[in-house]
Amino acid sequence: MESGQIHMIDVTQKKETERQAVAKGRLQMKPATLELIRKGKLVKGDVLAVAKTAGIMAAKDTHRLIPLCHPLQLTHIAVEFNLPEGGNSVEVTASARGVGKTGFEIEALVAVSVSALTIYDMCKSVDKSMTIGDIRLIRKSGGKSGLYLAD
C-alpha cells in the first residue's frame, strides 16, 4: 500500500451477528465542580442529561465523525454516569448494540468521548482544569473474534 492511501475494509462476505461493545472513560475535576453537577447548579442546566443525549447522538453519527467507519444500524445505545461519593470524577460508561457485519466498539468509544466533552463544555466556566482520560474498550461480543474483556 502506498503511503497516504486509505481503504475502507470490505465486509461484504462477513456474516451478520449480534454484537455489543461497552466503553468507559473518566473526567477528573475539582470536588466543588462535582458537587455542582450533583446539585444541578450549573448555569447551562442538567449536565448529565445533556451529556447523555450528546453521547447517544454521537454514537448514531460515528460513521460521519470517523472516516473509515461503516455506517451501522444501532439497535440500542446507553450512556450512564457514576459520581463516586467523596470523589472528584465522573465515570462515563456507554454500551452500543446491534446486528451487523462489523463491531460497535467505535460507537461506544465515541459515545463516551462526546459525553465527556459535553460535561467539560458545560462545566468549563467553573473548572477549566478538568481532564478527560482513561477512555477504553471494556467489553465486546459477537463476530468472528468473539468475546473480549479488558483486564
**Catalytic residue numbers, as ranges:** 121
Strand-strand pairing, 89-100 and 17-28: antiparallel
Q: Which residues of 103-128 are buried (b: 16+ CB within 10 A; e: fewer)?
A: bbbbbbbbbbbbbbbbbbebbeebbe
Helix (H, G, I), strand (E, B) or coil at 72: coil
| Distance (Å) of CA 24 to CA 32, 96, 106 | 23, 12, 12
CA distance linking residue 47 with residue 108, whole number of Å: 20
Helix, strand and coil in the chain, % to nearest 5: 30, 30, 40
Tally of residues, the chain: 151
